[in-house]
Amino acid sequence: MNLRGKHVAILTEKQYEDLELWYPYYRLKEAHADVFLVGPEADETYSSKHGYPAKAQKGIASVHAADIDAVIVPGGFSPDYMRTNAKTVKLVKECTEQGKTVAAICHGGWMLCSAHVLKGKRATSYVAIKDDMINAGAHWIDEEVVRDGNIITSRKPQDLPSFMRAILESLGEARHGSK
């Protein structure tokens, strides 16, 4: 798939889940998307749960929903830090409202809860935050990937192949104008 011209932000913060950040990053690079890591501050390095560094190429203040085609929220403990940053929550909310692809895996669903974008939506997440997702208005489903319009969710690293297929499909549809 050729996603040349597509701009994808992957959110990062301390304690992210390694595979849930790097698998999408490199898969999107392989598809020729312009993919970049967005943290609270540009050029800061954020460590994963296992100590692997991720350097933010952009700071959240410089990223706007109108300028990107998708935002991906990896899991780990990082979404708990991300959702305390109003600008990060605003980006997820605005991307959802603008019909951009919004994808969250594992604990990434916490960002969708904080952005108040789950009411009436089908979604999944890591089972430990199932109640949070339901309390935010989601119809929680235990499946490896759930897509409801522009929102794509998955449960855990083992779901990454299905998660990425859904993201690539969504971005491909947006490329061809059929969303």
Question: Which listed residue (32, 50, 106, 176) is catalytic?
Answer: 106
Q: Is 106 noted as a catalytic residue in this protein? A: yes
176 is known as an active-site residue: no
Among 32, 24, 102, 94, residue whose Cα is nearest residue 63? 94
Sign of the alpha-carbon dihedral angle for 106, 71, 88, 15: positive
Q: Enumerate the β-bridge partners of residue 70.
A: 8, 101
3-state secondary structure of 123: strand
Place of tokens 């993919």: 35
DSSP conformation class of 178:
-
Could you count the other beta carbons within 10 Å of the beta carbon of residue 53?
A: 9
- The CA distance from 46 to 52, in Å, is 8
- At residue 162, the 3 state secondary structure works out as helix
- Catalytic-labelled residue, pool 7, 32, 50, 107: 107
Q: What is the DSSP code (8-state) at residue 59?
A: E
Annotated catalytic sites, by residue? 106-107
